[in-house]
Amino acid sequence: MTPSKTLVALFSFNEGEKLRKLVSRFPKERDYDLLFVDDGSKDGSYEFLQQSGFAVIRHETNQGIGCGIREAIGYGRENRYQIIVIMAANGKMQPEEIGRLLDPIDNDRFDYVQGSRYLPGGRSPNLPLFRRVMIRILTKIINLMTGFPGTDITCGFRAYRLSLFDDPRFRLDQSWLNAYEMEYYIHYHVLKGGYKIKEVPVSMVYPESGKNYSKIKPFIGWWSMLRPWIFLALKIRK
């Protein structure tokens, strides 16, 4: 059997039944490997993943999504994967669409593929109004700062060529990147480093109830997403 060159990393914090339903949707025959990062769950998620036989990185306490991404990238590089897909384990992102992220890297030599719910073929049913407005505002700000015509800067469904991180400009070990900053720190350096980036349409499906749809805290979470762009542009951080 040929070893997989692609690692799909999923990040979980107290996702309970949503995690279990998502796991059941992954095909048994697949051309990628799965890695779960459990960020201090107390709801039995870690035990479920262990019993299911998946590779798991476990945090005893909640460390933040950025910390998890750092560790997943490290795991991927240490185990000689070529591509890593980043996705949440809360069921909003669809396993059936992983191929959309991989095709531009495999076939067109892109380095970073960003999912977008706003491109033709993408969708985001039940997206709350506040989230919709904030996504548009933040995306517009980043477009003005970088000149890149993105449509959905906050979509966390992404794929990276792992050779990106051979570039010493990516200093992922910095502790200020432990929360949402990490994803946008990487995005900034991809754009400024001249790497090839592309958006593809994906689905981001929110619960019909409109409840428990995100762990992003108002204001604090959105500032966490914005500040890497400001800090890096002003050379406050590297």
Residue 28 falls inside a structural domain: yes
CA neighbor of 225 nearest in space, from 188, 173, 171, 170: 188
Q: Check residues 28 and 71 and name the one with the higher pLDDT.
A: 71
pLDDT the model gives residue 220? 85
pLDDT band at 1; cut points 50, 70, 90: very low
Residue 1 domain-assigned?
Answer: no
Section 7-34 average pLDDT: 96
Percent of the chain residues topping a pLDDT of 70: 95
Average per-residue pLDDT in the chain? 94
Find all residues with CB under 8 Å of 6, minimum gap 6, and list them. 31, 32, 33, 81, 82, 83, 84, 85, 102
Number of domains in the chain: 1
- Is residue 116 one of the residues assigned to a domain? yes
Q: What is the pLDDT of residues 44-77, one digit of tens each?
A: 999 999 999 999 999 999 999 999 999 999 999 9
**Residue-number span of the structural domain to which 44 is assigned:** 6-233
Q: What percent of the chain clears pLDDT 90, i.e. is strictly above it?
A: 90
pLDDT of 125 > 50? The answer is: yes
Q: Do the domain assignments include residue 167? A: yes
| pLDDT of 214 strictly over 90 | no
Radius of gyration of the chain (CA): 17
Closest CA to 39 of 19, 58, 66: 58
Q: What is the pLDDT of residue 165?
A: 98
Mean pLDDT computed over 81-97: 97
159 in any annotated domain: yes
CATH of the domain at 178: 3.90.550.10
Residue 238 lies in a domain: no
Residues 6+ apart with CB under 8 A from 113: 101, 102, 104, 105, 158, 159, 197, 198, 199, 200
89 in a domain, yes or no? yes
163 within a domain of the structure (yes/no): yes
Tens digits of residue pLDDT in 127-168: 999 899 999 999 999 999 999 999 999 999 999 999 999 999
| 59 three-class SS | strand
Residue 96 pLDDT greater than 60, yes or no: yes
